[in-house]
Structure 1
Amino acid sequence: MRTQFLSPALLPVFSALAVSSALLFVSPALAEVVKYKATLDGSQQSPPVTTKGKGTATFTFDTAKKKLSWDVKYSGLSGPATAAHIHGPAAMGANASPVIPFKGKLKSPIKGSATLTDAQAADLEAGKYYVNVHTAANKDGEIRGQIDKAM
């Protein structure tokens, strides 16, 4: 004797429920938070700058929201920071225009975030961005660091 647990009329309902549940559990796996870092100094400026200034920058990038957050710490500059931003796209040693300005107070640490475009996210992933901190004595930048994935 065979027992039927599910009426044929309910099969489509349970099938849809199973597919929806599977998608619900898979979706968060597609989102990822990627960590990046940069070490800033005068030798990475193009042309290089002689300075006691140095710094570190840490970044997190939420791939689902395309949100890049940063924490930039520096010390030893020739004077107060007059500007700071992310430049690109550029390989190490090459110069490029600012693409993401750091707004607000520029005293260390500089913290903030921005939502990236698809092209900006691709350039970040490809290692084509750098952080630059400018001072009055070094208008083109006193310290710089290429942004790479953190290991």
Structure 2
Amino acid sequence: MTSEKSFLEPNMLRNIVVTFAASALAFASPASAEIIEYQAKLDGQSATIDTGSAARASAMITVDTISKTVALRLNVIGLSVDSLSDALVEAPVGPIHFHQYANGDLADAGNSALAFPIAFGPSYQPTRDGFQVQTGALDYASAVAPLGQGMSFTDFVAALENGTVILNIHTDAFSAGEINGVIAKAS
């Protein structure tokens, strides 16, 4: 009986250690989404527009590459919700959206395409000096569906990484966009 006991004890101990180690690894390295933060400073004097507008804005864009979502936090000073393009407020693309410049030339307006719309709704809130938009995580595929076509999520992230995407705010005064800014990786 003692020889049987000495044989089982080391195997049992080894099994316990292996089970514990496997459990520890499973809990120590959960699958986590890659979250990428981008930012933009918007004004009326950029490579793509020169409206002379005194309005300005700052934006933080959060991209989750696992769940394929995009979130926007935007603070605008010098424009009101009422100044936004009436035609685009009513449209599925909204008065604020991302444009992608395929060849990277931000001065070539004919080279831009709507890449990601921010539909008008409750996320647009007036503030004392302007307005803010806080979308929460938007499913990329659902958000771009009204475009009927468009770039894949992978291509969208690549364009953000390459600095060929701008955030544009369209108003009644400037239908092509009153202020915008290039989106860059947050520092």
Structures share fold, TM-score greater than 0.5: yes
Name the amino acid aligned to 2:159. Answer: D
Q: Specify every segment of 5 or more residues in structure 1 that has no aligned partner in the other structure, as ranges.
A: none
Name the amino acid aligned to 2:64. Answer: D
**Count of paired positions:** 148
Structure 1: 4+ residue segments shifted above 4 A? 1-4, 14-21
Name the amino acid aligned to 1:81. Answer: L
State the alpha-carbon separation in 2 of the partners of residues 77 and 45 from structure 1. Answer: 21
CA RMSD of superposed structures (Å): 3.1
Residue of structure 1 aligned with 2:83, choices 80, 98, 115: 80
State the alpha-carbon separation in 1 of the partners of residues 27 and 63 from structure 2. Answer: 22
Q: Specify every segment of 5 or more residues in structure 2 that has no aligned partner in the other structure, as ranges.
A: 86-94, 126-130, 141-152
State the alpha-carbon separation in 2 of the partners of residues 97 and 139 from structure 1. Answer: 15
Which position in structure 2 is the counterpart of 1:101? 117
Larger of the two Rg values belongs to structure: 2
Summarize the alignment of residues 108-127 of structure 1 with structure 2, pairs less than 5 Å apart: 108-112=131-135, 113-116=137-140, 117-127=153-163
Name the amino acid aligned to 2:50. Answer: P
Residues 26 and 92 of structure 1, relative CA distance in 2, 3 Å threshold: farther
Name the amino acid aligned to 1:86. Answer: F
Residues 32 and 47 of structure 1, relative CA distance in 2, 3 Å threshold: closer
Query: 1:6: Cα distance to partner?
Result: 1.3
State the alpha-carbon separation in 2 of the partners of residues 62 and 47 from structure 1. Answer: 29
Structure whose residues are more often helix by fraction? 2
Residues 119 and 23 of structure 1, relative CA distance in 2, 3 Å threshold: farther
SS at structure 2 position matched to 1:93: coil
Structure whose residues are more often strand by fraction? 1
Sequence identity percentage: 25
Query: 1:67: Cα distance to partner?
Result: 1.4
Summarize the alignment of residues 1-150 of structure 1 with structure 2, pairs less than 5 Å apart: 4-6=9-11, 22-28=25-31, 30-44=32-46, 46-77=48-79, 80-82=83-85, 83-90=95-102, 91=104, 93-94=106-107, 95=109, 96-105=112-121, 106=124, 108-112=131-135, 113-116=137-140, 117-150=153-186
Query: 1:70: Cα distance to partner?
Result: 0.5
Name the amino acid aligned to 1:5. Answer: P
State the alpha-carbon separation in 2 of the partners of residues 46 and 60 from structure 1. Answer: 23
Query: 1:37: Cα distance to partner?
Result: 0.7
Name the amino acid aligned to 2:96. Answer: A
State the alpha-carbon separation in 1 of the partners of residues 184 and 105 from structure 2. Answer: 11
SS at structure 1 position matched to 2:30: helix
State the alpha-carbon separation in 2 of the partners of residues 129 and 15 from structure 1. Answer: 49
